[in-house]
Structure 1
Amino acid sequence: TNRTLFLRPEQSPVFALPYSRARQALDEVDASTERKFQRDMKVAQQLRRQAAKLNNIGINSGSDLLTVKTKQLNLRAEKLEEAAAPAHREKSAGAIKLANRGTHAKVLITLDDAAVETPDGTPLFRTGKRHICQGDRIVLLGRNGVGKSRFVTLIRNAIVEPDTVPNVKVTPSTVLGYSDQALSGISGDDTPLMLVSRRYDVGEQRARSLLAGAGVVIEMQEKKIGALSGGQKARLMMLALRLANPNFYLLDEPTNHLDIDGQEALEAELLAHQASCVLASHDRSFIRAIGNRFWLIEKRRLTEVEDPEDFFRSVAEGAG
């Protein structure tokens, strides 16, 4: 044959070429589309990072001009993101989808020099005056042991038990989606079907459909969660997060158990929903793709930095 049609949901390209050459031509088109998408998304992230910094300064200074500038930058980023089209991807093990319940609050969390400590009360660092705003995707940078996970726990406690954590103020409309390294949000004694149908009050058929869509196949849905692979548990945890319908995510090493397809799907969902989140991760490509603000913890201080590259270099030099 001298004509080849590739069936795809969004658009079915046709080439006046035999299959092998058409496949090569299609791959080249996809690669070009993906490069443009990545460029556009990178520019959009830079705009949002600039907006987030101006927003934080504007809140502290009460500057109306900075507020207007922030809105302009976010609007430019939004237009880029809406127009950007990723290259087609073949269907993977299961779709990872997240939700983003809206909130009208501009500032979700205010940190007023809060103290971060170990469980036995040993001081780790203080936060300084910080704001976590709607649309922020804050990546925590720092070497092992500086207190990243303890900081995540501090914010979680402040959301789950309002007014119990000194110097941390949480907007009442904040709804938390939380995942830690151990995936403790899902019990090993439950089955995936029990977890989804009971916790989120959905019928059995709907629960089975949701699980299958997340990559938990039918034959695993009634086995104990403890029997699932790390990747299946991670996908189940992401499904549980979506069904909780949060507007703010706390993610501690969210890519630890995900395969490459799962990581890319999580990245795409966080970006597409403009999810507000604070996360800790060792995955550099994930950090670069997701973050629009970066908080560095070192020498018992938390400071905001422009990007993660200096930190990455210091870690590499220390390892060398």
Structure 2
Amino acid sequence: MISVKNVTLRRGVKVVLDQASVTFAPGEKVGLVGRNGAGKSSFFALLNGSIHEDSGEFSIPPQWRMAQVAQDMPETTQSATEFVVEGDTVLQAARAEVAAAEASDDGMAMAHAYTALYDAGEHDAPARAQALILGLGFSVAELDQPVNSFSGGWRMRLQLARALMCPSDLLLLDEPTNHLDLDALVWLEAWLKRYAGTMIVISHDREFLDAVTQVTVHVDNARLVRYGGNYSKFEDMRAEQMALQTAALAKQADKIAHLQKFIDRFKAKASKARQAQSRVKALERMEKIAPVLADAEFSFEFKEPQNVPNPMLSMLGASFGYPAPEDAVAGTPPTVIVKGINRSVLAGQRIGILGANGQGKSTLVKTVAHALTPIAGEISEGKGLNIGYFAQQELDVLDPEASPLLHMQRLAHDLPAHLRAGQGTGEQTLRTYLGTFNFGGDMVKQAVGTMSGGEKARLVLAMIVWQRPNLLLLDEPTNHLDLATREALGVALNEFEGTVMLVSHDRALLRSVCDEFWLVSKGGVEPFEGDLDDYQQFLLDEARSQREAAAASQRKR
């Protein structure tokens, strides 16, 4: 059992835990939640021994083995398989024992060492590692590629696989879904459900927490408050507690009425299609937890578009991909990712774009957003189409030296006059506008490079909203957003009068926003007739086929 009793924890001058107490029983799966800056990562540092309590009592069974994802970016020429195998600390200790026994030429020691090596799973270690690697979205061809050949996000996936490879009694996971696509996320959930030890996870993904946890600990006002149940149960219980606080609810009445108004409106508009029913259920959940949403420190809304063309755009015989590199041999053809697309995007559609990693979801969105040029075919746009594009790498293209205010001033200067119409561009007006996105006081003059990922994401959202788009293209917009901001985004998207095309591994957002889905797969784009539950089963079936193929390949070696 892990015991935290009257613990006070300081980081610098800030008290992050004050006389906090909580216990975790062996085998419990715990979600650690709370606003950004509440102290979740500090509590993890206490658990893993990086820092120590300032007062109180903290204990963890000394024999427990702990696993967590290393945050450093690995630099090694080892193959992906070898790197992940080395995460098995028990196996590595057994290998070291064998080496020492062989060096000593002690027969008895060698017998003992080889028995320990067998018990540690030396015989199937590569297969176990490869099952983890494939589950996290790598291809069979990448199993033997050097770690250094992968980009940063993929190396972090290997760090996650290495943590899962390590036999452990306590598994600490801090935002494990950040670098995962939906297919890898579904696989990870299935794996964690089978994990036998104690697990504590920090995540801003509601459905992930609901799937893998049975206990929720809320870091709130420097205390640790334990709730029996997953995140949704925690939210329900917290909403009930807040509903009893009539004085507080009175202050929130206007916000709750606003929420109720759009919930009623969109429930009435939702069709009877199976996908739309998921959205109705998501809105019904919002009715239940309206007090919690109203208490959130952040909310915003999209402005009404100046016009809404219909259709928004049409793709005719279109092929999307990437041009040949500039240094390529003359005549090198472009790389086609998806082809033969004949689809229209209509006013008011809410489209969720699904597909395994590498199939072309981002390529589709980038091309519609003019970040890429079609390889073939054409995209015809409705008159007055105004795109708001949130790219995965959008945070990287913000000017790190510039402030939020300077970003808005540049945007106001560069935006066409017809899109600036009716919007003040003076400094005080822009300051007030940024304040609605939680950029208040001196923060409007702070260099963006010093800000957190969540703050940068909020700035990008603020810039998109200001442009009054009628088509929103959102490619993984929630990667750096906390739960409260994700909820605010969901509410804003449901109130948005234009069209939405959304790529996201946040299933709660997909369910609450999207009425239909497109599947990008095998070089094409087709409607997906099922809902997200059907898609998750589709992904699990695909992952199982990959594992079986990898196992068969391993047996042939």
Deviations 1:38-64 (A, max 9, x none): 79856643358899xxxxxxxxxxxxx
Match in the other structure for 1:19: none
CA change 1:48–1:198 in 2 (3 A) is farther
Match in the other structure for 1:304: 527
Q: C-alpha separation between the residues in 2 aligned to 1:127 and 1:156?
A: 19
Match in the other structure for 1:138: 351
CA change 1:198–1:125 in 2 (3 A) is closer
1:157 matched to 2:382:
no
Match of 1:168 among 379, 385, 393: 379
Of 140-149 and 272-281, the range deviating more from structure 2: 272-281
What amino acid is aligned across from residue 189 of structure 1 in structure 2? E
Match in the other structure for 2:178: none
Mapped contact 2:320–2:375 kept (Cα < 8 A):
no
* Bigger relative contact order, structure 1 or 2 (CA pairs below 8 A, ≥6 apart): 1
Deviations 1:12-45 (A, max 9, x none): 9xxxxxxxxxxxxxxxxx9xxx999879856643
Q: C-alpha separation between the residues in 2 aligned to 1:112 and 1:222?
A: 46
SS across alignment from 1:295: strand
Give aligned-pair identity as a percent. 28
Match of 1:92 among 292, 296, 299: 296
Mapped contact 1:183–1:233 kept (Cα < 8 A):
no
Match of 1:195 among 407, 410, 413: 407
Match of 1:254 among 465, 477, 482: 477
TM-score (norm 2): 0.43
What amino acid is aligned across from residue 167 of structure 1 in structure 2? E
Match in the other structure for 1:45: 270
1:10 matched to 2:253:
yes
Q: C-alpha separation between the residues in 2 aligned to 1:36 and 1:96?
A: 15
CA change 1:251–1:36 in 2 (3 A) is closer
Q: CA deviation at 1:254?
A: 0.8
Q: C-alpha separation between the residues in 1 aligned to 2:504 and 2:410?
A: 31
Mapped contact 1:96–1:235 kept (Cα < 8 A):
no
CA change 1:86–1:134 in 2 (3 A) is farther
Deviations 1:236-282 (A, max 9, x none): 11110111111111111011111111111111111112330212111
What amino acid is aligned across from residue 153 of structure 1 in structure 2? K
CA change 1:11–1:43 in 2 (3 A) is closer
Of 302-311 and 139-148, the range deviating more from structure 2: 302-311
Mapped contact 1:146–1:298 kept (Cα < 8 A):
yes
Q: C-alpha separation between the residues in 1 aligned to 2:495 and 2:273?
A: 13
1:316 matched to 2:529:
no
Runs (5+) with no aligned partner, structure 1? 13-29, 52-76
What amino acid is aligned across from residue 275 of structure 1 in structure 2? G
Q: CA deviation at 1:91?
A: 4.1
Match in the other structure for 2:428: 205
Deviations 1:110-146 (A, max 9, x none): 0112102134322222253211000011111001100
Q: Root-mean-square deviation (CA), in Å?
A: 3.6
Aligned length: 268
What amino acid is aligned across from residue 10 of structure 1 in structure 2? A
1:228 matched to 2:451:
yes
Mapped contact 1:116–1:127 kept (Cα < 8 A):
no
What amino acid is aligned across from residue 157 of structure 1 in structure 2? H
What amino acid is aligned across from residue 183 of structure 1 in structure 2? E
Q: C-alpha separation between the residues in 2 aligned to 1:249 and 1:156?
A: 9
Q: C-alpha separation between the residues in 2 aligned to 1:274 and 1:183?
A: 24
Q: CA deviation at 1:198?
A: 3.6
Q: C-alpha separation between the residues in 2 aligned to 1:317 and 1:43?
A: 35
Match of 1:274 among 497, 518, 521: 497
SS across alignment from 2:370: helix
Structure having the higher Rg: 2
Q: C-alpha separation between the residues in 2 aligned to 1:135 and 1:85?
A: 26
Mapped contact 2:252–2:294 kept (Cα < 8 A):
no
